[in-house]
Amino acid sequence: MSIVAIGCNHRSTPLAVLERMTIPADDIPKALSDLGSADNLSEVVVLSTCNRVEIYAYAERFHGGYQDIREFIGRYAGLAPEDIADHLYALHDAEAVRHLFAVTAGLDSAVVGEHEILGQVRTAWDQSSEHGTIGSVLGPLFRHALETGKRARTDTAIGRGIASVSQAAVALASKHLDGLDGRPVLVLGAGEMAEGTVKSLAAAGTSDIFVANRTWENAVRLAEVCGGTAVGLEQVPDALVAVEMLVTTTGAQDIIFDHVDIADVIGRRVGRELVIVDVAVPRDVDPAAADLDGVTLLDMDDIGAFVDQQMVTRTRVIGNVETIVNEEVSRYQAATSAREVAPLVSQLRSRGSEIADAELARFAAKFADLEETEREAVEAMARGIVNKLLHEPTVRLKNAAGHARGDRLAESLRDLFDL
């Protein structure tokens, strides 16, 4: 049995391919059902964000589990398994644990140290719990991962400064527009990313924030967060003529603004530039819109490059977080081994008691003439000898739990005592 982590992210996969593999929230239950019924997977968690699609599983066999997950991702993306193989990373056991802890600590995000990933990992855990695809292995693993992410942000400065994709998007747009003070902005979407965006815009001095969403109540709710104005979807074309920036954050699976839509808007702006920041995966805006005069189109690739430039001075902080991740991986392994050792120790003690009881029963006839106190003394001595013999092996096994030596000792005990 192995813990496996298989997936792709903004570093391993071009955005055009990653957006095809992204699993929206509405499809997660079906994905969990499909993966949970696979031949080689016992427990499954799906983590799908704008930067990554990862499947964590407890697999009967690593290679069989890898095959099941790769075929699922290929079917979902409409790609042949061999076409996605080069983009997938596959990790197992300690490396899979280390990767999840690094992800939750913010080390593997497009914006190192971002806060959103903590909530996204918790949501993935909750969804798997709700649909019955998580159990005694992945449950403790994800709980420990969240503890690691919180510790990384409490004990280091990894979460300070630009600490989210939405913050990075606003900072990059501000750079292109020479500041956002007083500039009107339209935000399309009303989810977690949109909420982070409007808060970042307000903090950057944007006075007029318009929010559009397919659900009117959600648009109104988010507009109230930033003191902005909700607009209906039918008003979006007119709003785009008035604002200086559009930020799209929806979970739509198809392009919302094609090349013609943006061209029509630009034609009505009479030479005024429009900055579009598309942080949606899959993308909301046709990439061909970038070729239009008067349009600056920024997407997740541009945000990633911008963040990389900002992160040069944070190398020391990253090193501190990596140390925390390594410590927590060791702590998790020790705790896991201790849980696995406890039943083995119990079995060893039971085997010793069985042997003592069998020998006492075999000599029962010879003890018939003994007084009750004498018979009790003999029985106590027999059990005491067994306990003495087993004490040192069990102590050493517990002390070595979580390390390679502990695994070797456990395997030796199983072989020697047929446990």
Positive or negative torsion for Cα 187, 189, 190, 192: negative
Residue 295, SS3?
strand
Residue 246, SS3?
strand
Is 359 within 8 Å of 307 (Cβ atoms)? no
Active-site positions read 50
Query: Which one, of 167, 102, 115, 148, lies nearest residue 310 by Cα?
Result: 167
Residue 361's φ and ψ, nearest 5 degrees, are -65, -35
Distance CA 93, CA 136 (A): 15
Cis peptide before 14, with omega less than 30 degrees from 0? no
First CA to last CA across the chain, in angstroms? 18
For β-strands 52-59 and 2-9, DSSP reports them as: antiparallel
Paired strand residues for 248: 188, 278
Chain position carrying tokens 């919180």: 150
DSSP for residue 55? E
Distances 257 to 158, 236, 239, 286 between C-alpha atoms, Å = 36, 11, 14, 6
